[in-house]
Every structure is written in C-alpha cells, then in structure tokens.
C-alpha cells in the first residue's frame, strides 16, 4: 500500500489549493508595490501540513506495520555443506553474520540446530542465545530441516526463519539463503573394494586420489559421480584436490571381528567360528519368538515350527544377496508382532523368515542348520555390522546445494490501529485550530 502515499499526498495538496480564496486585483499602485515586496516570502501553511500528515498516517495504517520486534524461531542448517568455503569465510560464517542482528533484537526466540538430530535452545530473549549461535559448527551428514522446523514450532508459536544453503522447506515464513555455486570434489561412498566420488561443478573435473601409496586420477562428470573398483578389502583414500569442502576429502573402509552372544550349541559354535566372529555382546542370538523391535542387532531362532511348506515368494533385500531360497521347504515359525515383516513366504502368504530393522527371525535351528543358505544368510546379516566406514560419505553434501531467494516474514501487525488513531487526532487538531469563524452581524 505504500505506493499510494505519493498520489494521496498530491491529491490532498491539489484539493487544498483549489479551495484557496481568489486573488483580487489591488486598488492602487502603492498597494501593488508593497505587496510585490512580500509576495515571494515563503510562509508555513500549518493547515496544509496537518492535512498532509493525516493523509500519510492513514496510508501507513493500511500497511498495519508491527509495533515492535515479534517472537521468532530461527533454524540454522548445520550440515557439512555449510562448512564449504566462500572466499575467506564459510557458508556458516555468512549465515551467522546475517542472522545475528535479527536474533539480538528479537524479544523471545528459539534457536534450532538442524543436523542429523535437531537440537533446540530456548525460548529465551534473542540476545541470550547469541553465544549458542556463534558456537554452532557444520559437520553433519544431513540437515533435517523439516524436523527442526517442527521442533521449533512446538517450543514457540511464532514465525520460523530458516538459514540454509538448501532450498527452504515448505510452510516457513522466512528464509535466508547462503552460498554461491562452488566447485568441489568429494568421496561419497565406500564398500568392499569400491570407492565413489562426486563432483559439484558444472564441468568435468579430474580427481587425484591417494590410495595405497599410489595416486589414481579419475575424471568425474559435471554434477555427477565416478568410481574406483578392485580396491583392497581394507583401504584409506585421500583427495589431493578436493575443492571448497574439506570434510569429504578423506574416507576409509575396513572389516572387524564381530562380538556375538549366542547359546552354546554345537551348530552355532561351528557357524560363528566359520564366519570369524568372537564372543561378545555386539550381536545377540536367541532362541525364542521376538516380542518387538530389537534394541541391538539380534538374530532369533524359533523354538518350534509347523509343517514344512515351500518358499514361493521372497522380498528383494540385501540379506538375500547370493541366497537361493525359492523352493526350500521350511517349517513356519510362530509369527512375531509388528514391526516384523515377512522376508520369505509360503503357500497362503504364511511367513517363513521375518526381518525388521536390526533383526532377523528364522525357523527352528534343527530345520535349517544343515541347509546351504543358512550360513550365507547369517553372513549377510552380520556383514553390515562388521563393516567399518570412515569419512563424511554424503553425496548430497558433496554436491553443495544451491540456495533459493531469501525472504523474511511480514510483521505481525498491530501498528495500523495506532497510526489510524494518530491520524484522527491530527484531523481533530486541524478542525480545532482552523474552525470557521462566525460572520459578524450588521447593526
């Protein structure tokens, strides 16, 4: 509505000028000469000034500006890409510089660090959270912005401002985008004998990787990935020319001996000795029906089973890599509760093998201990827990997100009524000062 300010003031001025008394010709040369000396002296027209002031206040009242700073929730991206260099500073440094003035003048605020696990500080006066903002570090493999926004809204019902190098999540009232397109190479994935690299640039870059005492050169396509294969089972790799982000320049892969807690049964002793496991408590093996989601990696063996039935359907899963199950006849174990779900099913959809996050549930040991798939299935289950990976290993962070346009929340209002009242008082003052005088009656 501010575009109305100039037209309204001009209209008030023209209407006021149109109501001025007509200039009458003077009766004599002496009066004309005397008036000529005074006609160009500027005079303050108080009535016009009051009318213009009242009109300006009414136009500003239509904007309904806030009476003062409002409470705010600030969400700061703490993922690794915010540590990318932008000249002499990092993206997080730029974010702190832009956010600090807003935070310090906020009467009540919540500051949320958006990482793999969002962390909140407040509610508190913004100035009290200044130290929390300055000590933030960017190192997480991802920023869960939507979870961080939800956490901030639970703590304080106020507009949310997100500061990030990624596009803003939907529904936020404010956003400060930091960062510019930068060239970066990084190590994004490692596995047994395998290494992958990512390139954030819009052109092909050649990565120089120090690996096992040698330097490998790999061309990486723009905004894409490349790989190195046939590597040793255990290796450490280092990029010699990583680019804007240092956190993804080193990575490694290895295997360790896993500690397994299992019942002292001969079949299980042979199995875990074959798989290179030792006694420990990292993985638990139990005979029984699982009661829910396991607290740690667990392998369950059913205490009993029904009549053997052939496996007709399997769910695609890494646990079945190299495992041939179709056609095997297995006794159905007692079904476990949610969140367990069938990995292999028999006739009528009956579950024969179940899995959940960190858990595997098999038929009775006596029915499977001599089957060829049993050691391979257990090996695949233990495999992910034996593997040790180091490094950032986050493709999204290596490719360095590009921020969107910034915007700030509109004021919460409340000042419109105050300005309208002030405009009415100015008009009342004008009416009192310049009320028409009664005409004198003739004798």
Which tens digits make up the pLDDT trace of 190-237?
988 899 999 999 999 999 999 888 999 999 999 999 999 989 888 999
Residue 364 exposed, middle or buried by CB count within 10 Å (0-12, 13-18, 19+): middle
Taking residues 87-98, report their average pLDDT. 93
Nearest C-alpha neighbor of 126 from the set 154, 101, 153: 101
Taking residues 430-442, report their average pLDDT. 65
Taking residues 342-367, report their average pLDDT. 92
Residue 321 has pLDDT above 90, yes or no: no
Token pair for residue 220? 């990486």
Give the pLDDT confidence of 117-131 residue by residue, as tens digits: 999 998 999 999 999
DSSP 179-244: -----BEEEEEEETTEEEEEE-SSS-EEEEEEETTEEEEEEE-TT-EEEEES--SSEEEEESS-BS
Candidate ranges 49-58, 63-72, 337-346; pick with highest mean pLDDT = 337-346
Residue 135 has pLDDT above 90, yes or no: yes
Token pair for residue 131? 């130290």
Instruction: State the pTM of this model.
Output: 0.64
Percent of the chain clearing pLDDT 70 (strictly above): 85
Cβ contacts of 187 within 8 Å, gap of 6 or more: 195, 196, 197, 198, 209, 237, 239, 248, 249, 250, 251, 391, 392, 393, 398
Residue 61 has pLDDT above 70, yes or no: no
E-strand spans in 70-182? Answer: 72-77, 85-86, 89-90, 109-114, 119-124, 160-164, 174-177
As a whole number of angstroms, the distance between CA 281 and CA 302 comes to 20
φ/ψ bin of 213: left (φ > 0), alpha (ψ from -120 to 50), beta (otherwise):
left
As a whole number of angstroms, the distance between CA 80 and CA 248 comes to 9
Cβ contacts of 312 within 8 Å, gap of 6 or more: 326, 345, 346, 347
Residues counted in the chain? 443
Residue 288 confidence class, pLDDT cut points 50, 70, 90 = very high
Taking residues 407-411, report their average pLDDT. 77
When mean pLDDT is compared across 19-28, 89-98, 186-195, 300-309, the lowest value belongs to 19-28
Mean pLDDT of the chain: 85
SS3 state of residue 50: helix
Residue 44 has pLDDT above 90, yes or no: no
pLDDT at 215: 92
State the virtual CA torsion across 317, 321, 327, 329 in degrees, nearest 10.
-80
As a whole number of angstroms, the distance between CA 380 and CA 383 comes to 5
Residue 244 has pLDDT above 50, yes or no: yes
Give the pLDDT confidence of 155-168 residue by residue, as tens digits: 999 999 999 999 99
């Amino acid at each position: 509505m501010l575009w109305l300010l100039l037209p309204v003031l001009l209209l008030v001025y023209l209407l006021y000028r149109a109501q001025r008394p007509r200039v009458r010709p003077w009766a004599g040369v002496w009066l004309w000469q005397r008036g000529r000396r005074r006609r160009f002296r500027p005079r303050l027209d108080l009535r016009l000034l009051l009318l213009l002031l009242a009109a300006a206040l009414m136009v500003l009242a239509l904007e309904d500006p806030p009476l003062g700073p409002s409470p705010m929730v600030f969400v700061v991206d703490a993922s690794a890409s915010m540590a990318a260099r932008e000249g002499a500073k990092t993206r997080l440094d730029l974010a702190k510089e832009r956010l600090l003035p807003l935070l310090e003048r906020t009467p009540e605020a919540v500051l949320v660090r958006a990482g793999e696990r969002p962390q909140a500080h407040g509610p508190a006066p913004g100035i009290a959270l200044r130290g929390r903002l300055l000590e933030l570090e960017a190192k997480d493999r991802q920023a869960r912005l939507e979870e961080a926004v939800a956490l901030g809204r639970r703590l304080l019902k106020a507009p949310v401002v997100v500061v990030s190098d990624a596009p803003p999540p939907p529904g936020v009232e404010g956003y400060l985008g930091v960062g510019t397109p930068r060239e970066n190479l990084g190590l994004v994935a490692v596995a047994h004998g395998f290494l992958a690299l990512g390139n954030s640039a819009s052109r092909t870059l050649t990565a120089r990787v120090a690996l096992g005492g040698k330097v490998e050169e790999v061309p990486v396509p723009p905004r894409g990935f490349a790989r190195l294969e046939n590597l040793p089972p255990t290796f450490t790799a280092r990029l010699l020319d990583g680019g804007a982000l240092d956190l993804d320049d080193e990575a490694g892969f290895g295997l360790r001996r896993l500690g397994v807690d299992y019942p002292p049964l001969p079949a299980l002793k042979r199995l875990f000795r074959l798989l290179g496991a030792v006694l420990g408590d990292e993985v638990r093996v139990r005979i029984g029906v699982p009661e829910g989601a396991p607290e740690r990696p667990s392998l369950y063996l059913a205490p009993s089973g029904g009549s053997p039935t052939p496996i007709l359907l399997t769910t695609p899963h890494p646990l079945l890599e190299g495992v041939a199950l179709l056609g095997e006849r297995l006794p159905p174990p007692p079904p476990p509760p949610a969140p367990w779900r069938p990995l292999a099913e028999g006739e009528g959809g009956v579950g024969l093998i179940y899995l959940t996050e960190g858990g595997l549930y098999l038929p009775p040991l006596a029915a499977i201990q001599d089957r060829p798939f049993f050691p391979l299935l257990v090996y695949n289950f233990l495999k992910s827990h034996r593997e040790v990976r180091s490094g950032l290993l986050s493709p999204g962070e290596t490719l360095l997100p590009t921020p969107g346009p910034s915007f700030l929340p509109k004021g919460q209002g409340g000042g419109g009524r105050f300005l309208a009242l002030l405009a009415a008082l100015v008009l009342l003052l004008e009416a009192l000062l310049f009320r028409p005088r009664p005409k004198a009656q003739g004798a």
